[in-house]
């Protein structure tokens, strides 16, 4: 039996040194890459500066007017809530005055159950926290 060895003399397989044809080629490649990065950076900066320079005033006015309207609505609701609260307090005072007049005027009569059912304000809800 004859064994043959197929060894190739020379460099290791798969690895080759980089060869540039000219000395200026790596410098040209680096400058091209740098220019591309600069153009990308400028595009980003311009994109952000456009928004700063040209704010759309109509949207800002619309937002402010919407905020103003919201504030007006809130104040109107608060005023209405305060008004109803005062009305309820007055109604409660009147009910208690009427009941005291009825009981003081006729001490022999039993308290009238109709006055509690004709109360204009809603009964208070009791809340228990566990």
Q: Is residue 9 included in any domain, yes or no?
A: no
Q: Is residue 85 included in any domain, yes or no?
A: yes
pTM of the model: 0.32
Q: Is residue 84 included in any domain, yes or no?
A: yes
Q: How far apart are CA 49 and CA 58, in angstroms?
A: 19
- The pLDDT score that the predictor gives to residue 32 is 95
Q: How far apart are CA 117 and CA 72, in angstroms?
A: 38
- The pLDDT score that the predictor gives to residue 50 is 67
Q: Is residue 130 included in any domain, yes or no?
A: no
State pLDDT tens for residues 50-92.
655 555 666 655 667 888 999 999 999 999 999 999 999 999 9
Quick one: average pLDDT of 119-124?
Answer: 72
Q: Is residue 120 included in any domain, yes or no?
A: no
Domain hosting 58: range is: 25-100
Name the domain count of the chain: 1
């Amino acid at each position: 039996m004859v064994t043959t060895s197929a060894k190739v003399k020379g460099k290791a397989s798969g690895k080759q040194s980089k060869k540039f044809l000219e000395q200026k080629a790596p410098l040209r490649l680096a400058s091209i890459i740098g220019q591309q990065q600069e153009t990308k950076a400028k595009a980003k900066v311009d994109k952000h500066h456009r928004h700063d320079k040209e704010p759309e005033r109509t949207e800002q006015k619309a937002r402010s007017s919407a905020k103003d309207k919201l504030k007006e609505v809130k104040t109107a609701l608060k005023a209405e809530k305060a008004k109803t609260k005062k009305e309820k307090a007055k109604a409660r005072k009147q009910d208690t005055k009427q009941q005291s007049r009825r009981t003081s005027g006729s001490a022999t009569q039993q308290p009238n159950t109709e006055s509690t059912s004709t109360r204009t304000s809603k009964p208070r809800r009791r809340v228990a926290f566990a």
